[in-house]
Structure formats: C-alpha cells, structure tokens
Structure 1
Amino acid sequence: MRRLGNTVAATVTLTALCAGGWLLHNGTATHAPPQPTAAEAGTGPGGPSGPGGPGGPRSASARGLAPSVPERIRIASIRVDAPLTGLGLTPTGTLEVPPARKKNLAGWYEAGTSPGETGTAIVAGHVDNADGPAVFFSLGALKKGAAIEVDRRDGTTAVFTVDAVEVYRVSAFPDETVYGAAPRPELRVITCGGTYSRATGYQSNVVVFAHLTGVR
C-alpha cells in the first residue's frame, strides 16, 4: 500500500490519461504538447529539492485550511480555467480519470487531501483527446513561480506557487516523491507527456509540484 495525498491507497498509476488519441490521428511532429525544460526541474536526487520542493529548503507558506471540496482550477499563465470533478480509485487500484470527451475538465482525488489542506492534494487531467488538446495540454510549459488558483466550495480560493515541473517515465514513476505525505499544504498537478508511441500512448507523466502561498 502507498500513500496518495496523505491517504493510504492502493498502487496508483495514471496510464489511463495517456492514450493520446489526437496524436494517433495527427502524428507527433507538429502536434506534441510542450515539455518541461531542465530549468523547471528540481535540483536534488529523487525529485524536486530546490526552494520549497520536497527534500529542500522550505519557503514561507500559508497555513493549512479546513477541508473543502475544490470546484475550479485556474492557471492563468497557460490559460487553464476548468471545473474539477471528484476522482476515486478503480477496482484495480488505479486512479480514475475525468471523462476524455470533456476536454476542459480536471479531477481531484477526493478520498485524499483537498487542495489547501495540510498534506498533498492531487489534481489530474488529460493532455488531449481524440478531438484535440485537452485541459492540461500546456502543463509542460509551466514555469517555476507561476500561480495556480483553486476555488473551493467554502468560498475561499487557495493560491499555490509552482516549485518545480518534472517528467517521469510511467515505468519508473516515483510514487513516494509525488504522492507522499507533506507537513504543509502542497499540490500536485499531473498529466501525460514525454515520448509518444502509437502502440502505447505517452510514455511519461508531467508532474507540477506546488505549495500554498496565499488564500483569498
């Protein structure tokens, strides 16, 4: 058993996000989503460890909020403004994914930490679907220091600051680095990326690491 957002859960993978139906029909040369550069990655072994990242110096962060259902995520720098739906685990222990046909929809792991609470909150969404780019198509272009806003049902908006943007191969996904418990309010935003294969889809996951820095 592994921890997912401070909640013990079965093994979690995100391969269902990564079919890449649009690329299957259009090829990879001109339609692939942007990928993070080395400058946006963490600086230590095993994952992000720069300022604010896991394993590195902690920058100032806002105090954790009470639990509340997140309703919307906004990332202005990459033009994301999307509703959130709750996600659970499938019978085989994998994370459910939002319906692929709804390209502007992201999901959060509702059995775990809600965004803004102390702990690790998980948000996931498709990079594309059969019709074209989906909600997190541009996630790999996100930069350190960018803001992520999550509107919550209690009327508050949790504001997160990006610490790092990483790419991990699906076959070597570091569960503990991404999903492990955190002593402050943190957020992971996950989609697919990396090399694309017509046989298996995307080969990697793009993971954004962020921590709470403000509340409105």
Structure 2
Amino acid sequence: MAATSAPSPVAERPLSRRLMWPAASVVLGALLMYNSLGGAPSGTPGVPPVPVAAGAPTPSVSPTTDLALPRSEPKRLVIPAIAVDAPFTPLTLGADGHLNAPPENNNNLVGWYKGGVTPGEPGSAIVAGHVDTKTGPAVFLLLDALKPGSTVNITRADGIVATFKVDSVQTFSKAEFPDQEVYGKTSTPQLRLITCGGSYDRQAKDYTDNVVVFAHLDSANTA
C-alpha cells in the first residue's frame, strides 16, 4: 500500500486466557466490538489493506515529524525505558474470528495483526504482548510504566527503523473499552501497544482491564 493512501483499521481480537482485550473492526465504515475470547463475535472482520507490490524499492527516509511509510512487516521492537527488546510474530484471525495469541512458551515475543496496517503506515498499527504467562512475567509486564515522550523503536523488514513517541498511557476497563478512541481511523501513522492490566479475576480467569499505549510516528531512519 502506498504511504499516501490508507484504508480504515481492521479487526483486532482478544488473544488468550491470560492476554485478552476488546477489539474493533471496520465493516462498511462501522466499528464493531469484540470483548472476550469465549464470546461470540459481534461482526465480521474488515478487508485487510492492499500490500505494497512485490519488489517495490525501499524508500529513502529522512527524519521528520510528518512521515508516512509504505507497508513493511515489523521485525523487532525496542522500548529502552522498560528494557524491551523482542522479535515480532504475525498474528492472524482464528476460525472463530478471534486474533490468535503469540505463543505462551516464549515470554519475550510480541505480535502484530498482519491484516492491519504495518507500523509506519497511516492508520493505527496494533502490537500485542503478554503481561505474563503460565511460566512467569512476560514482555509487556512494565508497559504501564511508560510515560509521554518515551520512545518505541520498530525495525522493519525494509531496513527502516520507525521511532514512535508515546502520547499517553491509559488503562481501560474491559467492560467499558473505548473502541473508537483506540481503533478509530487515523490519517497519520499511529501505534497502539496493548496488554492486560488491573487485577486478575481468578474466577473469570482474566484481567479486569487493558493497558493501551498511544504513540505517533516521530522519525524514521535506515538501520
């Protein structure tokens, strides 16, 4: 997809028993919510964006605050403030319409929904990570410790390092998740980092809240 043209964000789904969040999709312009792994979906996922044509040249990028990058898969996530340095795995929708989870046997792995925009494209790129797993703390354990101005660096397959700057870190009740605020259409490159938060409800086997980091593309350089 060219950097100057971006479709609406597509569906995001809860990931797993331990990492679950509400999600939204655009179907004929309407945002639809999905609130839990076990619940029935309230709609169908939107159409994925058109990928960049095979063999498209890698762009030459100069640092600027008004960037838009072509499609390129993310390869590594680095968040210096909370000592995150993790590879990506692509996430797809399962047969039940939910987003499949990153493997729980790897505590240092983040996922991105490959049916949505890639980090740096116009729109909201979605990156998900476990706060913990059955084996212990995981990659996004300290996500809620980020502050406005913190940087998030994503190395892409095209050799570009996209640097995002955190705008805010918010915690939302899963029962009242603001899908439009998190997943609404944006004309500029945005990033959403999502994990579980709040207290752990042992009876429901789920966390009560979601932590969402809102960030915008601040600069881009070749690696």
Q: TM-score with structure 2 length normalisation?
A: 0.72
| Residue pair 2:16, 2:101 contacting (<8 A) in 1 also | no
| Residue pair 1:17, 1:97 contacting (<8 A) in 2 also | no
- Which residue does the alignment assign to 2:92? 88
Calculate percent identity across the aligned residue pairs. 47
Q: TM-score with structure 1 length normalisation?
A: 0.74
Output the CA distance in 1 between the equivalents of 2:149 and 2:186: 19
- Which residue does the alignment assign to 1:203? 208
| Residue pair 2:9, 2:124 contacting (<8 A) in 1 also | no
Unaligned runs of 5+ in 1: 20-59
1:129 is aligned to 2:133: yes
Output the CA distance in 2 between the equivalents of 1:85 and 1:104: 11
Structure 1 residues 121 and 148, CA gap change in structure 2 (3 angstroms): same
Q: Which one has more relative contact order, counting CA pairs under 8 Å at least 6 apart?
A: 1
Offset of residue 181 of structure 1: 1.3
The number of aligned residues is 171
Q: Which runs of 4+ in 1 moved over 6 A?
A: none
What does the per-residue CA deviation read over 1:32-62, in whole Å, with 9 as the maximum and x for residues that have no partner? xxxxxxxxxxxxxxxxxxxxxxxxxxxx833
What does the per-residue CA deviation read over 1:150-194, in whole Å, with 9 as the maximum and x for residues that have no partner? 000000000000001011111221222111211100000000011
- Which residue does the alignment assign to 2:166? 162
| Residue pair 1:62, 1:215 contacting (<8 A) in 2 also | no
- Which residue does the alignment assign to 2:23? none
| Residue pair 1:17, 1:125 contacting (<8 A) in 2 also | no
| Residue pair 2:119, 2:190 contacting (<8 A) in 1 also | yes
1:12 is aligned to 2:13: yes
- Which residue does the alignment assign to 1:76? 80
Where 1:67 maps in the other structure, the secondary structure is coil
